[in-house]
């Protein structure tokens, strides 16, 4: 028999709790999770003394968010307790528990379907909504991200964070005007809405509003306190992207050293922020010194994770750029794992991750023809591995670098076509103008045609 709940969380969702004293920590999880705040982890203080199924499911989710092999293992006892007691909870709680169970099993499509059902039946269950968006994001389902947010919005319009979720869904669907409006609505309700800051930063980067984007992100950065490590390091990562394109290398390196790498070095998202930023520095002609070595010492622990293809690709490239033999091992492990990946993501592993991994490995080893072949196969389908447009741009930059460094008439012609289109959309980018100038010079064309900045000596 389902228990009749006597409590509700901060968003008004009924709760079945064994101990009413657990409510403040449950609210910390719910509100902290949707606000990207570290207080979500405070739930772990009660996880071993309150056996309420929803508490156990939230704890399992926190472990799964480690995005590691260990995280999956650590989630299992909490998930088992949640499933064992699910029948005494509300239908909302049962659906959330089932969605976390599907996630743990690798059945991401079922998890997404359950989160869509939850959004329709309980639109103020914004923790479930955010988790559903996370899964859609990781599978390249941008319309699904947006649909989840729009389903909940009429019933949760008073909550700033749902507007931030809608903003990022709009942005990933290339609906920039709507994304900016939603982000600004979120900030009107709460200036400290880091996910809205993130979404608007994406808009400004995509639209080539580089100086404006940098100023905006720096202006709101005083609110980036008490956040989880991903949110704070990733928003600073976006600041560094603006600085790289505006040719402010020393400032960008300082951001990397102070705010991107070193917050929680063991966390997967902090690791890929570091990898992708170091790679972008080098692709922009910025010397990173020995910074690869510190990051690689953590990446070597990821050889058997295979949680998300998007993560594995960046682990591989970081190891390869550091000259670590573990890069060869991870490349082999990816190829071995792909045919046995969960059905929901197997195609992404086999058809996108494997050739992309081969291309990234080749590029790091100076095999530019191999990089062009592998990445050229993967790039048209890259959305399937998840990540944002800005994050996946790393792989496009590596491919472009391989075209240029291959140096044949055909590859330089291909590079010219890509670079000129990018320059047209990013007229403020000194990085792109410099790269375009170098290609025009190699092709025997007037460098002024690309509105060029002369290459660094």
Please give the full DSSP string across 7-50, using - where no structure is assigned: EE-TTS-EE--S-GGGHHHHHHHHHHHHTTBGGGGGGGGTTTT-
Map out the domains of the chain as residue ranges: 1-155, 407-450
Residue 37 forms beta bridges with which residues?
227
**What is the model's pLDDT at position 448?**
85
**What is the model's pLDDT at position 2?**
46
Section 79-94 average pLDDT: 97
Judge whether residue 450 has pLDDT over 80: no
Q: How far is CA 434 from the centre of its chain?
A: 28
418-436 pLDDT per residue, tens: 999 999 999 999 999 999 9
Confidence of residue 339 (pLDDT cuts 50, 70, 90): very high
**pTM, two decimal places:** 0.96
* Cβ(78)–Cβ(56) below 8 Å: yes
**What is the model's pLDDT at position 4?**
47
Backbone dihedral angles phi then psi of residue 277, each to the nearest 5 degrees = -75, -45
**What is the model's pLDDT at position 447?**
87
Rg of the chain, C-alpha, whole Å: 22
- Dihedral Cα 124, 129, 131, 134, nearest 10 deg: -150
- Distance between CA 132 and CA 148 in Å, rounded? 8
Q: For residue 334, what are the contacts with CB-CB under 8 A and spacing of at least 6? A: 306, 309, 312, 316, 349, 353, 354, 357
Q: How many residues does the chain have?
A: 457
**What is the model's pLDDT at position 456?**
62
- Torsion region of 51: left, alpha or beta (phi above 0 gives left; psi -120 to 50 gives alpha): alpha
- Distance between CA 133 and CA 150 in Å, rounded? 12
By the 10 Å C-beta count (0-12 exposed, 13-18 middle, 19+ buried), 319 is classed as buried
Q: For residue 207, what are the contacts with CB-CB under 8 A and spacing of at least 6? A: 176
319-335 pLDDT per residue, tens: 999 999 999 999 999 99
What DSSP state is assigned to residue 353?
A: I
């Amino acid at each position: 028999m389902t228990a009749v709940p006597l409590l509700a969380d901060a968003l008004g969702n009924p709760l079945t709790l064994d101990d009413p004293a657990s409510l403040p920590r449950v609210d910390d999880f719910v509100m902290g999770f949707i606000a990207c705040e570290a207080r979500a982890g405070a739930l772990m203080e009660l996880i071993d003394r309150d056996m309420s199924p929803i508490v156990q499911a939230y704890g399992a989710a926190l472990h799964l968010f480690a995005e590691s092999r260990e995280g999956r293992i650590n989630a299992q006892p909490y998930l088992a307790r949640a499933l064992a007691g699910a029948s005494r909870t509300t239908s909302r709680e049962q659906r959330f528990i089932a969605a976390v169970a599907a996630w743990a099993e690798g059945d991401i499509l079922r998890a997404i379907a359950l989160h869509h059902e939850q959004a329709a039946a309980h639109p103020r269950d914004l923790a479930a909504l955010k988790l559903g968006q996370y899964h859609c994001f990781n599978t390249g389902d941008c319309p699904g991200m947006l649909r989840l947010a729009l389903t909940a919005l009429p019933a949760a319009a008073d909550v700033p964070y749902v507007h931030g979720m809608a903003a990022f869904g709009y942005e990933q669907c290339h609906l920039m005007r709507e994304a900016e409006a939603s982000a600004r609505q979120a900030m009107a309700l709460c200036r400290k809405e880091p996910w809205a800051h993130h979404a608007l930063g994406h808009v400004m980067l995509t639209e080539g509003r580089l100086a404006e984007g940098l100023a905006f992100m720096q202006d709101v950065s005083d609110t980036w306190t008490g956040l989880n490590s991903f949110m704070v390091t990733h928003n600073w990562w976006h600041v560094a992207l603006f600085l790289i394109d505006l040719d402010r290398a020393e400032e960008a390196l300082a951001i990397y050293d102070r705010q991107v790498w070193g917050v929680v070095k063991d966390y997967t998202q902090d690791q890929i922020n570091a990898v992708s930023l170091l790679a972008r520095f080098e692709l922009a002609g910025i010397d990173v010194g020995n910074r690869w070595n510190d990051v690689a010492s953590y990446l070597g622990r990821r050889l058997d994770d295979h949680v998300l293809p998007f993560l594995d690709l960046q682990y591989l490239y970081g190891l390869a750029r550091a000259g670590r033999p573990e890069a060869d091992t991870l490349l082999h492990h990816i190829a071995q794992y792909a045919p046995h990946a969960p059905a929901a993501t197997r195609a992404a592993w086999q058809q996108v991750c494997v050739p992309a991994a081969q291309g990234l490995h080749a590029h790091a080893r100076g095999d530019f023809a191999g990089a062009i072949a592998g990445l050229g196969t993967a790039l048209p389908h890259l959305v399937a591995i998840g990540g944002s447009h800005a994050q996946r741009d790393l792989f496009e930059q590596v491919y472009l670098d391989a075209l240029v460094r291959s140096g044949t008439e055909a590859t330089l012609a291909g590079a010219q076509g890509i670079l000129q289109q990018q320059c047209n959309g990013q007229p403020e980018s000194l990085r792109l103008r410099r790269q375009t100038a170098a290609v025009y010079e190699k092709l025997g064309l007037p460098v002024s045609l690309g509105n060029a900045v002369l290459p660094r000596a």
